[in-house]
Structure 1
């Protein structure tokens, strides 16, 4: 009897010990998980602060590069690509691009003038965008003029269809997962994803040529920061100009860029082409909007920051927008 009681007591002690061990192991696992989580947060925070440091550096670089300059061109310090800086336990890399060397989608908000027939004609920006689509997006899932009209109606303040093939609030509200058109300017080119019937493939075709200037519906194209890839924008604005001639014009550009629009107009590729005043008004040799794409790392964590700057007349560089996680 006494032996049986001892055996039962031993089993009880072993069970209690096993429970204590399980609890201790569970507590240790939770503690290790919390420590790892805290370490990840600290690393992510450090990578974030490195990115903000890159943003501040970019602001100073832009201000110094453009101070006292009559033009904005790709020979200036801000335009040097591939900059990478090692830092304690990490790395900072960044690239600045000119947002006036791409097509500002917000410019499509502006409506055209009423023609002799009483029909509203496309604005110069709308005509240029439609031609751009025809040149670079021949596989677009809809006619080029439809997409131009749909972006215009997404941006304009009313809920009326501007033309056949467009889309407005009722069209978006009738979708399986309904929403309304913005009826205001875009904040990011990623908003193009929600335009009716646009596909991911369409978006990939357009991304190299489009951008969005926050709260700005003006279309200006800096002829000094266009590259051979983006030279097609010139051909889009000037219908009589071929894409090959536009590329040749950029290839012939002086290293420090054109000093005036007249230098561009004097090139042989434009001989015999009558350019309208509203197209000439789009061309410029200066820029006020820039974008920084900063990529940072710290230990095992990384961070991507996209910042949009505006350079004011007094050479002050202001941050207009930030996006975390890269381009939309």
Structure 2
């Protein structure tokens, strides 16, 4: 073999070695990526199971806290905020809130009754929602009556406009990116984002005071789990009550809450105010619906779980809904 042939053979061998090295590096990189992906999945799965453990703990805590109790109040164990537990290579934190200390948007599905004059009269929940908007959302991008009507038409089963300023399927179908109204109960507060002309600013004003109870059209406000920040809900329900007086009433509430609605009605802030029966019917000292927001971590992975519970008359706690990835 002459010198030129030996040089060609050497070049060929070097090319083959170079190709093998490139392939080996590529395979090694893919293997490392697969290993990292598998590790991330394992960590995420462990964080998920930590969250499910938090949910189970919350169910047990609710059941024990409410067993034999005639009222639901913020001095009970379930209401203690800031709970955090260190676990192997991670952390579990959770907070339980009462979903009957906020306005259930699904209650707006109920139609008003026809009055003696022949006109449809708004329900107590609808009137309360409008007043809540007037008190808490003074910069709302539309009249409060319009927003109430749009939520109602989003929830009701027909495709007919309920009143002026409302919006139904035809209005949504005419948008640049058309879609239809749900025509069913809401499952998340985030559905407000889909309603016609609601702005992000509108949503931010509403979020501290509204919630959604799955498959439930009732509005029951627990006066024992309101805080001074949410006392505005009481002022919205009783039109003659000012927000300042509502805050005072919550501040003066007994440590373990009111034992009955009559104790609330006896407060001086309500002296001289004649509360309608349909308004009184919306006040309660007990709650059946609660929400857990659990945040967990494991090594470099995190997980957020939102669970909604219902406590029945036998004190059995049932999970109604779960949402992964936080609130919204």
TM-based fold match above 0.5: yes
Number of the residue aligned with 1:40: 40
Per-residue Cα deviation, 1:248-291 (whole angstroms, up to 9, x for no partner): 00000001000010110000000001100000000000000000
**Offset of residue 66 of structure 1:** 0.1
Q: Within 5 A, what are the aligned runs for 1:29-68?
A: 29-68=29-68
Residues in 1 aligned to 2:150 and 2:122: alpha-carbon distance in whole angstroms: 13
Q: Within 5 A, what are the aligned runs for 1:158-177?
A: 158-177=158-177
Higher mean C-alpha displacement, 200-209 vs 32-41: 200-209
Number of the residue aligned with 2:137: 137
Residues in 2 aligned to 1:262 and 1:126: alpha-carbon distance in whole angstroms: 24
Number of the residue aligned with 2:80: 80
Residues in 2 aligned to 1:158 and 1:117: alpha-carbon distance in whole angstroms: 25
Higher mean C-alpha displacement, 191-200 vs 25-34: 191-200
Number of the residue aligned with 1:7: 7
**Offset of residue 57 of structure 1:** 0.1
Number of the residue aligned with 1:322: 322
**Offset of residue 158 of structure 1:** 1.1
Residues in 2 aligned to 1:124 and 1:178: alpha-carbon distance in whole angstroms: 33
Whether 1:17 aligns to 2:21 is no
Per-residue Cα deviation, 1:117-148 (whole angstroms, up to 9, x for no partner): 32212111110000000000011111110000
Number of the residue aligned with 1:253: 253
Per-residue Cα deviation, 1:275-315 (whole angstroms, up to 9, x for no partner): 00000000000000000000000000000000000001000
Number of the residue aligned with 1:149: 149
Per-residue Cα deviation, 1:177-204 (whole angstroms, up to 9, x for no partner): 1111111111111111111111111111
Per-residue Cα deviation, 1:57-103 (whole angstroms, up to 9, x for no partner): 00000000000000000000000000000000000000000000000
Residues in 2 aligned to 1:277 and 1:300: alpha-carbon distance in whole angstroms: 55
Residues in 2 aligned to 1:263 and 1:121: alpha-carbon distance in whole angstroms: 30
**Offset of residue 112 of structure 1:** 1.1
Per-residue Cα deviation, 1:195-230 (whole angstroms, up to 9, x for no partner): 111111111110000000000000000000000011
Residues in 1 aligned to 2:239 and 2:61: alpha-carbon distance in whole angstroms: 37
- With structure 2 as the length reference, what TM-score do the two structures score? 0.99
Residues in 2 aligned to 1:220 and 1:117: alpha-carbon distance in whole angstroms: 28
**Offset of residue 159 of structure 1:** 1.0
**Offset of residue 174 of structure 1:** 0.8
Task: Classify the secondary structure of the residue corresponding to 1:208.
Answer: coil
Number of the residue aligned with 1:313: 313
Residues in 1 aligned to 2:117 and 2:284: alpha-carbon distance in whole angstroms: 33
Task: Classify the secondary structure of the residue corresponding to 2:121.
Answer: coil
Q: Within 5 A, what are the aligned runs for 1:244-323?
A: 244-323=244-323
Number of the residue aligned with 2:111: 111
Residues in 2 aligned to 1:129 and 1:217: alpha-carbon distance in whole angstroms: 14
**Offset of residue 116 of structure 1:** 3.4
Residues in 2 aligned to 1:138 and 1:118: alpha-carbon distance in whole angstroms: 32
Task: Classify the secondary structure of the residue corresponding to 1:116.
Answer: coil
Higher mean C-alpha displacement, 223-232 vs 172-181: 172-181
| Aligned length, in residue pairs | 328
Whether 1:185 aligns to 2:185 is yes
Residues in 1 aligned to 2:264 and 2:183: alpha-carbon distance in whole angstroms: 37
Query: Which structure 1 residue ranges, 5 or more long, are not aligned?
Result: none
